[in-house]
Amino acid sequence: MKILIDTLDLNEIKKYSELGIISGTTTNPTFSKRFGMKDDLDTIKQVAEAQDGVGEIYIEAFGDTADEIEDNAWRISEGSDYKDLIFKIPFTEAGVCATSKLSKSRFRINLHLVFSLSQSLIAEQVGAEFICPLIGRMDDDGMSGLEVVREIKKSYDTNEVKTKIMGSSIRNMNHVNELIKIGVDYVTIPPKILDKMFYHKLTDEGFQTFKKDLENIG
């Protein structure tokens, strides 16, 4: 399982990149607006610098039609020389159509806004490298996001599907722990949850005990 950071806070991206625990960054237009990015190419440039040129960057290729999505993907691809670039495309009919075409041109595609087993089947049929079920959003709608992910994982394993599952919209440590048990391929996690993953009271207590004992040696 690989960890991605779900933010455009450059300080957080740099921090976790230097710790060596993330494999890249997921972005979205809301993040770009919140953190003052000029456009998608500026977003890629700044994230690449924060990651020290290493790791995947997930960038939105948006549009109302398949042609618009394709045009945006090509524009971004031609405007950036970053190698580990994955295009996030929303799961709409236009997005599915664009994915089918772009995947044949060796674009790496993450079909996101996936909320059902049937959508996961369509995604793998059109060559999506990743799907991105949004667990927290499903929970908000009265569904069990984790159960949906569990069903998709079982189906993909049974049918030996190559499309990777990325758990997203992670709200708490239970989401993280259950996704580890399910065995998804990727998780994209906001900084406030990443911070919590480091903490366990027994770790802190053990550290303080060893520190005190070391000080008392001799």
Catalytic residues: 88
Ramachandran angles phi, psi of 96, nearest 5° = -65, -45
Token reading at 25: 């960054």
Please give the sequence-ordered ranges of beta strands (E in DSSP) within 117-205, or none if there are none.
130-133, 164-167, 186-189
Q: Which of 66, 168, 184, 71 is nearest to 126 (CA)?
A: 66
Distance CA 99, CA 132 (A): 14
- Are 114 and 122 in contact by the 8 Å Cβ rule? The answer is no
Ramachandran angles phi, psi of 163, nearest 5° = -60, 135
Q: Which of 143, 85, 92 is nearest to 122 (CA)?
A: 92
The radius of gyration of the chain from alpha carbons, rounded to an integer in Å, stands at 19
Distance CA 66, CA 62 (A): 9
Query: Which three-class secondary structure state does DSSP give residue 165?
Result: strand
Please give the sequence-ordered ranges of beta strands (E in DSSP) within the chain, or none if there are none.
2-6, 24-26, 56-60, 85-90, 109-114, 130-133, 164-167, 186-189
Tokens 């109302």 appear where?
A: 64
